[in-house]
Copies of this chain bind each other. A is one copy, B any other.
Amino acid sequence: MSADTVISLNLATTREVWGFAEAVDGCLKAGITAISPWRDQIAAIGLDEAARIVKENKLQVTGVCRGGMFPAETAEGRQKAIDDNHRAIDEAAALNADCLVLVVGGLPGSSKDIAGARQMVTEGIAAMLPHAKASGVKIAIEPLHPMYAADRACVNTIDQALDICETLGETVGVAIDVYHVWWDPYLARAIARAGRMKRIFAHHICDWLVPTTDMLLDRGMMGDGVIDLKGIRAMIEAAGFDGPQEVEIFSKDNWWKRPGDEVLAVIKERVATVC
């Protein structure tokens, strides 16, 4: 990593052991001054208190997780999603977050029309954009691994996300999570394109384990899997993004069971050596 790379803790990583306030305490003790909270964690402590903690401790909030989930079978369902995204924008604004991260949603109901779902995503982001702009909140589309295309996110590559960004303007960019994109044969080209467009808003890290025993909750600690983390970071820095590396590990049988302080110590060691 670059000598000055900053670590951000995505609070999903310690969600089973720490709430918002405990996670901030743990981070500060470990010398980590950037976080990315989830909305349920913000709601649990209250938005005002979360904002107070962020301000008082001069924390960088690298993202709020998450908006999105646009596709729905009915117009009412889609409007409900947009309303929820407006609330997410307000939360991101209150925390002065670098961006609101979007997990865009998959196929609605029993639909087999993935092109239609993708259209709903573009329209949903377009609908939330005026409020986001008025609030000064940047929107980061997070392409998710293709194994989540049906049920979580029908935006599955950086290039596809950038195609959407091009139609929506400069405040819509991408959150690049290595877990979701490491396999992409056109990754280097896509990251360079994102850089030229100035649309890299976040960089998330973890690792892909072999074998992977659970499609959602078996992500690895950096260094324990097969992802070339240094290589991807170099691409991202060459593309002009030198913001924090945000550590987001969903790991129900391993890291989620460990004490938060221990997890942070391992993260710091791994970021220093393999990222």
* Chain A residues engaging chain B, CB cutoff 8 angstroms: 107, 111-114, 118, 145-147, 149-151, 154-157, 159-160, 163, 182-186, 208, 210-212, 215, 225-228, 231
When chains A and B are docked, how far (Å) is the Cα of A120 from the Cα of B117?
37
Taking the full assembly, how many copies of this chain does it contain?
2
When chains A and B are docked, how far (Å) is the Cα of A163 from the Cα of B149?
24
Contacts of A151 in B (CB 8 A): 210-211
Contacts of A231 in B (CB 8 A): 112
When chains A and B are docked, how far (Å) is the Cα of A156 from the Cα of B183?
8
When chains A and B are docked, how far (Å) is the Cα of A227 from the Cα of B107?
10
Please state if A114 and B215 are interface contacts (CB–CB under 8 Å): no
Between-chain CB contacts (< 8 Å), 29 pairs: A107-B210, A112-B228, A112-B231, A113-B228, A114-B182, A114-B228, A145-B146, A145-B147, A146-B146, A146-B147, A146-B183, A146-B184, A147-B147, A147-B212, A147-B215, A149-B183, A150-B183, A150-B210, A150-B225, A150-B226, A151-B210, A151-B211, A156-B183, A156-B184, A157-B185, A159-B185, A160-B186, A163-B185, A215-B215
When chains A and B are docked, how far (Å) is the Cα of A215 from the Cα of B113?
23
Contacts of A149 in B (CB 8 A): 182-183
Contacts of A155 in B (CB 8 A): 185
When chains A and B are docked, how far (Å) is the Cα of A42 from the Cα of B147?
32
> A118 touches which one: B114, B185, B210 (CB < 8 A)?
B185
Please state if A185 and B210 are interface contacts (CB–CB under 8 Å): no
Contacts of A226 in B (CB 8 A): 107, 111-112, 114, 150
When chains A and B are docked, how far (Å) is the Cα of A208 from the Cα of B159?
23
Nearest-CB distance from A160 to chain B (Å)?
4
Please state if B183 and A112 are interface contacts (CB–CB under 8 Å): no
In the complex formed, the residue of B with least CB distance to A208 is: B150
Contacts of A182 in B (CB 8 A): 114, 149
Contacts of A225 in B (CB 8 A): 150
In the complex formed, the residue of B with least CB distance to A231 is: B112
Q: Which of A111, A114, A118 has the most CB of B within 10 A?
A: A114
In the complex formed, the residue of B with least CB distance to A228 is: B112
Contacts of A211 in B (CB 8 A): 151
Nearest-CB distance from A212 to chain B (Å)?
7
Contacts of A183 in B (CB 8 A): 114, 146, 149-150, 154, 156
When chains A and B are docked, how far (Å) is the Cα of A111 from the Cα of B226?
7
Q: Which of A160, A183, A185 has the most CB of B within 10 A?
A: A185
Please state if A185 and B212 are interface contacts (CB–CB under 8 Å): no
